[in-house]
Amino acid sequence: MFTRSELEVKTIQELSQLCQRYGIKPSGSRAYNTSYITSLMAFPIIALSQFKQGRGLRSPDFADFQAIGRMIEVMETPTDEQAALIKITLEGRRMAYPDRFDQERLLNLHEAKMLLERVFALLSQ
């Protein structure tokens, strides 16, 4: 990530801005550049260590993964007419009220299913 030499040439203000940019707290006194440098050099290793320990952001377990797959199955696939309505909706055409509400719900459901499929694919990598 950052090299010591890359950070040592920066001012305390620049180091402080880097820490703020990434949400990192200096390891000691804010008056010393080494406090910032230490934190900026260490955070990637600490983050991966926490991930491996199951702290913070964690991978879902197998049961959670199955639940996502089940949700996708339950939603099924749109009929030809529903697919056509989704396509025309994506082109910006809207039905009159009150049918527009159901049109939007259909589109939202379709988009949610597409996102769940993307989530499933990302988590299975």
**pTM (predicted TM-score):** 0.74
Residues 9 and 31 in one domain: yes
Residues 67 and 111 in one domain: yes
Residues 79 and 39 in one domain: no
What whole-number distance in Å separates Cα of residue 58 and Cα of residue 88?
A: 39
What's the burial of 57, exposed, middle or buried (CB within 10 Å: 0-12/13-18/19+)? exposed
pLDDT at 82: 97
Q: Domain count for the chain, please give it.
A: 2
pLDDT digits (tens, 9 = 90+) for 67-117: 999 999 999 999 999 999 999 999 999 999 999 999 999 999 999 999 999
The SS3 call for residue 33 is helix
Residue 91, domain extent? 62-123
